[in-house]
Amino acid sequence: MIMQAYTISEPEIRNHVKEKFQMLHESISAIFKRGGVSNAEVAASQFIGMGLMITISEVLELPQLRQFRDKGK
């Protein structure tokens, strides 16, 4: 639900979703840091962004948005 909830304009919902995305980013960044990933915050942003793109491509049935996928899969 959090993946689409950011589109709701109601301030209470928007703030709640903002907090959840911030928590998600912080958690992923911490995991990446523990794993020795350089620029963990940037990597976390890219990870979240890729997840959003995959979700959009699946929901809208637009495989061309997933050009990063291995052609053999």
Q: Give the count of beta carbons closer than 10 Å to the beta carbon of residue 9.
A: 7
Query: Residue 69: what pLDDT?
Result: 60
| Domain residue extents for the chain | 2-66
Query: Residue 71: what pLDDT?
Result: 59
Tens-digit pLDDT profile for the chain (73 aa)?
Answer: 555 676 778 889 888 888 989 999 999 999 999 999 999 999 999 999 998 888 888 888 988 888 876 655 5
pTM of the model: 0.76
Report angle CA 51, 67, 48 to the nearest 5 degrees. 15
